Structure 1
């Protein structure tokens, strides 16, 4: 990464660490994720002005209240009020071990609760890990990793436990089979996710995807999950253009974390990311296909530039994930995703 870009990223993270992980009654602070996406795409010069607009809505960081005992951490899991306490815990832990070791220790503990906070915890971790892998370690980047892991912990909420996968469908076929939640069951995301536990149409479609036998197969299947979700967004994302973004960006965050994890953690990561993406689309997607999708951007640079001009954080993050899909697959349809979202999500303005 260009030195000036890395410095801009650190300045942005440092500025954002004075703000909370959430604001305005549990809305997630997307600032760290969006600025990392802008810097990664080469648009680092736009970061200060974008932050000037975005940070106006944010609230101060939560203060620590009570130290989390390392042998009783599960008692604080999923407690948003203790985000500051989780930051203290992970700050202590990263002073004692490399960040990859911390990640390997805590990932299995936090992974089952991936859907919590509408998946923003794991998405923030994905961006933090990519920043460390791309730009290397710095005190501020390590601090962002700590804040991301803390939010993953404080917002944790598990999906219903699923039986073992035993299907033969590709992620493309299985996601196409996922049905939308009945209209009369729609409510807050936590209520919707709880409803899925006993809903046979969702269970059968989700369990129909093919399992992974090796870590490498898990990685490749997860890449297909992200690709399939991007195309699904183009067809049904208009059911809730903001929330369905996370059906793409959450699995892609897990995919970004894989290179930093031990290989034995890749298969459970694939399974949880797949189930989460399936759940997000089940509870938010439209019941009918969109009438059409915008023509793809000419290339990822144009798609990312147009997302930055629109400036909404969800559009930026979706275009960023879609660029990953295009880089892996060469599928030009992926480059329509950010444009599709931009047509349906209001831009960020003064």
Structure 2
């Protein structure tokens, strides 16, 4: 992880901005700069931020402080983002960050779909930094921002009908039935998902839950290499959302690992149902690129989703995952020509 202080500088810079812009589009910068720092590219963080700055909005105004007594009424209220971030900032200042995370993870997990799954992804990046590097005030504040965003965008789904499933994550994702109507955004499409294939439903052991979640992240990442053209941006989340959950598991009690697997599967499968293409494309191998070379290409491309998917692909590290990252570079519009 970054030991130069650059990540902390970037987070402090970003905490003057809100978690969204235009009332619905997520601020991806905190996640992207964490990924850059984690992959040895801290020196490019501020240059990348300068280019992304036009997508940032000022931190929103508060409405009313969230407290231990009134938090239920504020859950899922997007206009309360500042209130929620302030609440978690106070909680983390008074207690350990792991204690706060452990208390709120099961409360927030049913609403993992909110904000198009971006809040849990932001939390996953924040937790990785806290687990693998020094615990600093900007990094603790980043966790507060991520949890606050999640609470503000909390969005559960109705009970989904169990559909015929499969034994493997790959086969289960293949069995997902795409929704028919695709003329609207994430929230409306999500309401059109009424059932998902059954997968890993009998898992009760935390170790097995960890193994299955790892399998799901690999399968969803691999799938992007042949299915990413269905929606180049949104299908990234079928991999990055469960990976955020996977990255958070070591900070959570083992008793929360099985429900975390359940939420990760339904979110990944739901995204697949909403955006899967009619048919896959032929698989194109990644060639001779190394993992570091693929990440350098993602950085040069600059798109925030490309950077985050490539970061997840490097967690997996195999040839097909690298091919998925390269596919995202091909499909996506670059932020700039070169920020490396």
Quickly name the TM-score band, shorter chain normalised: over 0.9
Q: How does 1:105-144 map to 2 (within 5 A)?
A: 105-144=103-142
Deviation at 1:337, TM superposition (A): 1.4
Check the 8 A contact 1:215/1:263 in 2, yes or no: yes
1:196 to 177, 181, 193: 193
Work out whether 1:234 is the aligned partner of 2:221.
no
Alignment correspondent of 2:42: 44
Alignment correspondent of 1:346: 333
Check the 8 A contact 2:123/2:143 in 1, yes or no: yes
2:300 to 294, 309, 312: 309
TM-score by length of 1: 0.92
SS in 1 for 2:192: helix
What CA deviation, in whole Å up to 9, does each residue of 1:106-125 have, x standing for no partner?
Answer: 00000000011000000000
90-99 vs 8-17, which moves further: 90-99
Alignment correspondent of 2:99: 101
> What is the aligned length?
337
> For structure 1, which runs of at least 5 residues remain unmatched after alignment?
none
Deviation at 1:187, TM superposition (A): 1.9
What CA deviation, in whole Å up to 9, does each residue of 1:237-265 have, x standing for no partner?
Answer: 11110010001100000000000000000
- Counterpart CA distance in 2 for 1:108 and 1:238 is 34
What CA deviation, in whole Å up to 9, does each residue of 1:46-68 have, x standing for no partner?
Answer: 10100000012211011222011
Check the 8 A contact 2:31/2:308 in 1, yes or no: yes
1:325 to 316, 330, 339: 316
Check the 8 A contact 1:62/1:84 in 2, yes or no: yes
> For structure 2, which runs of at least 5 residues remain unmatched after alignment?
none
120-129 vs 187-196, which moves further: 187-196
Q: How does 1:17-166 map to 2 (within 5 A)?
A: 17-162=15-160
Moved over 6 A (4+): 163-166
Deviation at 1:208, TM superposition (A): 4.1
Deviation at 1:211, TM superposition (A): 3.1
Deviation at 1:159, TM superposition (A): 2.5
- Counterpart CA distance in 1 for 2:114 and 2:170 is 24
Deviation at 1:338, TM superposition (A): 1.6
Deviation at 1:304, TM superposition (A): 0.8
Alignment correspondent of 1:261: 252
Q: 1:63 to 1:78 in 2, by over 3 A?
A: same
Check the 8 A contact 1:215/1:267 in 2, yes or no: yes
- Counterpart CA distance in 1 for 2:285 and 2:13 is 36
Work out whether 1:3 is the aligned partner of 2:3.
yes
Work out whether 1:280 is the aligned partner of 2:271.
yes
- Counterpart CA distance in 2 for 1:29 and 1:170 is 34
- Counterpart CA distance in 2 for 1:53 and 1:150 is 26
- Counterpart CA distance in 2 for 1:347 and 1:216 is 39
> Which of the two has greater helix per residue?
1
Check the 8 A contact 1:166/1:209 in 2, yes or no: no
- Counterpart CA distance in 1 for 2:325 and 2:244 is 17
Check the 8 A contact 2:2/2:37 in 1, yes or no: no
Check the 8 A contact 1:165/1:209 in 2, yes or no: no
Q: How does 1:201-220 map to 2 (within 5 A)?
A: 202-203=195-196, 205=197, 207-220=198-211
SS in 1 for 2:17: coil
- Counterpart CA distance in 1 for 2:219 and 2:7 is 30
TM-score by length of 2: 0.95
Deviation at 1:91, TM superposition (A): 1.3
Check the 8 A contact 1:296/1:333 in 2, yes or no: no
Work out whether 1:221 is the aligned partner of 2:212.
yes
Q: 1:74 to 1:296 in 2, by over 3 A?
A: farther
Check the 8 A contact 1:294/1:339 in 2, yes or no: no
- Counterpart CA distance in 1 for 2:295 and 2:98 is 29
